[in-house]
Structure 1
């Protein structure tokens, strides 16, 4: 994962996305093309010039839309971008078919090298949290701070409610699931996902539900949707078995960037017990536990997560190696 494998930033064409995508108020969407890789990037103009860059990375089955609420909350602190990982959202599959945690991390590194935006404040949720942990470990020069929201770091044994997601990694299970649920409406399937990921699904507004249903309906028609889901789930499962220097927990120990850990105590996919282990493992960490949040705290409580993130920037501003602004989350 060296920077030498990325092209010069001036050679990367940036064009409008090929398909019609949902664009929230104040957001723009574009496609960044790299050799063998095309990434849809959602951005929100910062409140003022000169703010430090930030990059937001979604989890399994998600997209850059998962970050719209938080990006709006922190637009006065960072110049934010959220990308669709290869095969998700509006990004097509990667040419090499690599959906492993390392493959996704390589895509982020290539994008940051090519766009010349690093070092960035790097944020990841769920699978995205595992991905950005690997990025921060192997390319510390690209990361100012790290924010992990319910990161999918290896948890053994996993929560019982997380087992169906892990089963997607088994060859043929995704196809079987599609057959078994063919009578489900898109709205019903969406509500099931929201019930699994939100601490309180009643917090989902009718507007957000309608937009999510429309997005799920569009993505369900993509020929590679379930393949990307299954292969990425397999990548998560495989990351549980890696040992030595490739272990995600071993790589977490190597992260130098100041780290904010956000966990929901009603998370059905990542146990809150992992919060304490993460707090011990990341060398410069602070922990925010949200009593009523589930797996996607940045969507459920964007204002609370934004305040914690702003505190992190304030606390770390002016530290050696931090070229931007930066301030103070209670250590956990």
Structure 2
């Protein structure tokens, strides 16, 4: 566990969630909640959270069946099911509306939360959100069975015969624009976490069902479709896309910027699928600018994001 972090378990109707948090830098900071992607955990936000200590009161949740959270009682791993878990937690926490963050699967979940419960979301920050693509990247669809960008590749790298170290190397190669950015200590920690997860009896079930849940969400039309729900989001939205992302196409950035009515776009040409782990300082700068731009930040300084291009739609 990263320095300054603490974990607690929250029991809610039908689910038990593990929540990672940091002590707030001062009283009265607005709350923030971070939602991880498929196969991830709240640890995926540990590099970003301390950089936002003076801006928000940070909490990151382990979705049901991931990290340290056990499976949901009803076995519902759909995007709607995960969104329902997040909403249930936010309602129970009674912290008011939050700055909501989501990566990949967590981006789809956060989009749905923001669309159906606008009262819970102050701003929305989506890092490589898993929104439906018409033209899927070749590297993301080795089979036609899983019609979700990247999931088939992810499962290929999670081959059961591989050691935990081999699996971590495969996932790192898939998710990072430059796998060399992972430190030796970070790699060792990831291997230990992988070994722990592989020992869980529900690990593969949670992975497969959540992947299928995103595939199903991709096929929904009408008001329940993810793009339609993106258009309903009222919260100011920061969209973050990586130029080397093998799971969510860089091409989708402009479409997403058009779909979210109040959006800002941050493109990181060298980033992969997990910009909050690869370029946390750059993302923290963009978040500060979002809060300042939307009146959520009392005091701002002169801040610039190097190595990025930004656009407001």
- TM-score, L = length of structure 1: 0.86
Decide which of 256, 260, 280 is 2:234's aligned counterpart.
256
Is residue 78 of structure 1 aligned with residue 59 of structure 2? no
Instruction: Identify if the C-alpha distance between structure 1 residues 326 and 279 changes in structure 2 by more than 3 Å, giving closer, same or farther.
Output: farther
Q: Distance in 2 between matches of 1:124 and 1:26?
A: 22
Q: Which of the numbers 188, 195, 200 marks the counterpart of 1:210? A: 188
The 8 Å contact of residues 279 and 285 in structure 1, kept in 2 or not, is answered as: yes
Shift of 1:118: 2.4
- Structure 1 residues 147 and 233: alpha-carbon distance in aligned structure 2, compared to 1, 3 A threshold: same
SS in 2 for 1:59: coil
The secondary structure found in structure 2 opposite 1:69 is coil
Distance in 2 between residues matched to 1:164 and 1:53, nearest whole Å: 40
Instruction: Indicate the residue corresponding to 2:114 in structure 1.
Output: 136
8 Å CA contact retained: 1:312, 1:326: no
Equivalence for 2:307:
none
Provide the residue aligned with 1:196 in structure 2: 174
The answer to whether structure 1 residue 289 and structure 2 residue 267 are counterparts is: yes
Match of residue 303 from structure 1: 281
RMSD across aligned positions (CA): 2.1
C-alpha separation in 1, matches of 2:114 and 2:144: 25
Please report the TM-score for the alignment, with normalisation by the length of structure 2. 0.91
Is residue 225 of structure 1 aligned with residue 206 of structure 2? no
Question: Structure 1, unaligned stretches of length 5 or more?
Answer: 1-22, 319-323
Which 4+ runs in 1 deviate beyond 4 A? 164-170, 324-330
Distance 1:24 1:235, change over 3 A: same
> Deviations for 1:101-122, whole angstroms, at most 9, x for unmatched residues?
0000000000000110220000
Unaligned runs of 5+ in 2: 304-309
1:261-306 deviation digits (Å, cap 9, x = unpaired):
0000000000011000000110000000001000000000000000
Q: Distance in 2 between matches of 1:54 and 1:29?
A: 16
> How many residues matched?
300
* 1:53 aligns to 2:31 (yes or no): yes
> 1:160 Cα deviation (Å)?
1.9
**Is 1:236 matched with 2:214?**
yes
